[in-house]
Amino acid sequence: MGLLDELKERILIADGAMGTLLYSHGIDRCFEELNLSNPDEIVHIHEAYIAAGADVIQTNTYGANYVKLARYGLEDEVPAINRAAVRLARQAANGRAYVLGTIGGLRTLNKSVVTLEEVKRTFREQLFVLLAEGVDGVLLETYYDLEELETVLAIARKETDLPLIAHVSLHEVGVLQDGTPLADALARLEALGADVVGLNCRLGPYHMLRSLEEVPLPERAFLSAYPNASLPDYRDGRLVYETNAEYFEETAKAFRDQGVRLIGGCCGTTPKHIEAMAKALSDRTPVTEKTVKRRAVSVSVQAERPAPSPLPELARTRRSVIVELDPPKKLGIDKFLAGAKALHDAGIDALTLADNSLATPRISNAAVATIIKERLGIRPLVHITCRDRNLIGLQSHLMGLHTLGITDVLAITGDPSKIGDFPGATSVYDLSSFDLIRLIRQFNEGLSYSGKPLGQKTNFSIGAAFNPNVRHLDKAVERMEKKIQCGAHYFLTQPIYSEEKIVEVYEATKHLDTPIYIGIMPLVSARNADFLHHEVPGITLSDEIRARMAACGDPVQAAKEGIAIAKSLIDAAFDLFNGIYLITPFLRYDMTVELVRYIHEKEAAAKERKVVHG
């Protein structure tokens, strides 16, 4: 009788954590490498789980793939480590338990860290070794990214008829990190050929049971659950799990009532936890019917605050000018407020506020945005970088902006911390700019990153960055198109210093309906021009412009030349793009005020000509 035949008739008990026991034994290195260097330890743990009552054990191969082993310089040992793992599990099982070849997920929050192509190559290498060694089935576990799991499951189903167990992991009860309800995700996995579908890791029994309450019994597959021992505590640099084995004995029957037929443990569990579950489920009788709870998702739509037209709508219908004025690096905002007021009086549509540009600490742009909005009636456009906040902080920040009534945001990756004033600081990058755009779009639907209701829908107008100063403009446009798919409403470009480049950008993007604000930043000196050209990522100056700035004899003349260059760039963009994005250098708002007035004068003259010739 095979594994699936037994699951038709009775509940099977699986093993628990491997890493938890190895760590408790004082081993703090690559656990998978121990298949080669300390095989007796691995066999001993397998045997302990079987003695505790496990009918199914898994190979010590969760991270035995190219990507994870490369962290230890062991990428060439993938075949040897996986072969040894199967043989050790077989030796320990000795016909008393089924052996599953385990393959863990690679992606977490930031999908761009590991591409799908890399996932496929890495997965195939590990899968083929496990299959060649004669496992009884394949366990795909700890997959937070449903796209990754569906991809590898399809590969595995094509390569083998052995039982396939597919486990997702959740951040929140009942939903995957992309907002997909657990029941829908498991149904999709079953449709792709998984024989057993379920959950492992991240959640303890309580939250895992709550998640399974919303999942009907599969039509063909079986349900599984491998909960963590508990939520972990962090002590003295170590994760500690507190749940005792008796709690697992109490919850085992509840898992059976939810239709689970394969039950084991994940992080923090030991043979004692498995023994407790085996004791509680000694008769192993499965349920064949269950009542499914339906989760009600409630998102209220608040009465909208009076707000100006969205920036992309302005750029579609008329000339629109926004200006960047960076928050100060030092405490005190009097000069900043004077500049903001002067720009407002000149007739800008919004004031954009960078988020610690060039990885340099500045007064919080959210604080400054609130002040200019309330005191001066200025519309703030707040930049949000992925660099400084993790996923928790980003969501908190967005909720705060919504609460403050700030609805215009620009989602960007952010300059790496190593280029700023504190090169030793950590760059977070939990999300890429694409992921951040998706997150904001999801907030507009009233859902958090994990799909949890926010209680209200936000109303963010989502801006995105576009860098045309690249060798292959078509590739940059492809990134734009991807950002539009993610939810971007409009774009702000990096500063452009070439009239020809502005025309080139128009030709490359004229098929897009999404508005573009062309970035123009006046130069203040030859040194400023050289610095931007040579040291600031994403900015390129022509030799001609650098020569013009170098020919200036004094700061006053240099500023005039910088304004003249900016005006010629405005002229080039004027008939091609409605949106102009002026970047203020070094709080020299007098320069951007002059450029704002120039744009409005040019617009007024164009309207007058139209009337005369109309």
Phi, psi of 218 (to 5 degrees): -60, 155
Across residues 172-198, what is the average pLDDT? 93
Contacts 24+ apart (CB under 8 A), 28-31: 29/72, 30/63, 30/69, 30/71, 30/72, 30/74, 31/60, 31/62, 31/63
Q: Residue 545: what pLDDT?
A: 92
Window from 32-46, 445-459, 493-507, 568-582 with minimum mean pLDDT: 445-459
Task: Report which DSSP code applies to 430.
Answer: S
Over residues 464-476, the pLDDT tens digits come to 999 999 889 999 9
Residue numbers belonging to the annotated binding site: 201, 266-267
The larger pLDDT score, comparing residue 507 to residue 241, is at 507
CA distances from 119 to 60, 176, 306 (A): 19, 19, 47
Angle, nearest 10°, between helix axes 473-486 and 433-444? Answer: 30
What is the length of the chain? 614
pLDDT of residue 303: 44
For position 172, what pLDDT does the model report?
Answer: 84
Rounded Cα–Cα distance for residues 425 and 87 (Å): 45
Strands (E) in 127-178, as ranges, are 137-143, 164-168
Q: Stretch 213-226: mean pLDDT, rounded?
A: 96
Q: What is the pLDDT of residue 293?
A: 87
What is the tens place of the pLDDT at every residue in 138-152?
999 999 999 999 999
- Residues 40-68 pLDDT 10s: 999 999 999 999 999 999 999 999 999 99
| Side chain identity, residue 594 | E
Tell me which residue of 597, 614, 511 sits closest to 319, measured CA to CA.
597
pLDDT band of residue 261 (cuts 50, 70, 90) is: very high
**C-alpha count within 13 angstroms, C-beta hemisphere, residue 337:** 14
- Asked if residue 583 lies in contact with residue 519, where contact means CB atoms within 8 angstroms, the answer is yes
pLDDT digits (tens, 9 = 90+) for 269-300: 999 999 999 999 999 999 999 999 876 655 55
pLDDT score recorded for residue 20: 74
Q: Quick one: how far is CA 174 from the chain centroid?
A: 19
pLDDT digits (tens, 9 = 90+) for 423-465: 888 888 888 999 999 999 999 999 888 777 889 999 999 999 9
Specify the amino acid at residue 331: L
Percent of the chain predicted with pLDDT > 90: 77
What span, in angstroms and rounded, lies between the C-alpha atoms of 77 and 70?
9
Mean predicted confidence (pLDDT) in 552-581: 94
Instruction: Look at residues 62, 54, 11, 18 and name the one whose alpha carbon lies nearest to residue 269.
Output: 18
Q: Is the pLDDT of residue 247 over 90?
A: no
Q: Is the pLDDT of residue 100 over 90?
A: yes
For residue 575, what is the DSSP state?
T
* CB 130, CB 101: distance < 8 Å: yes
pLDDT of 240 higher than 70: no
Q: Are strands 516-520 and 579-583 parallel, antiparallel or unpaired?
A: parallel
Q: What is d(CA 384, CA 79) in angstroms, rounded to the nearest whole number? A: 43
Across all residues in the chain, what is the average pLDDT? 91
Dist CA 566 CA 559 (whole Å): 11
Enumerate the known binding-site residues for Zn(2+).
201, 266-267
Distance CA 245, CA 345 (A): 69
DSSP string computed for 550-587? HT--SHHHHHHHHHHHHHHHHHHHHTT-SEEEEE-STT
With vertex at residue 200, the alpha carbon angle to CA 198 and CA 201, rounded to the nearest 5 degrees, is: 160
What's residue 450's pLDDT?
77
**Region 214-235: what's the mean pLDDT?**
85
Biggest distance spanned by C-alpha atoms of the chain: 95
Q: What residues have CB less than 8 Å from 477, skipping those under 6 apart?
A: 508, 509
Which of these, 404, 308, 391, lies nearest to 364 by C-alpha position?
404
CA 123/CA 350 separation, integer angstroms:
48
Phi and psi at residue 225, in whole multiples of 5°? -155, 125
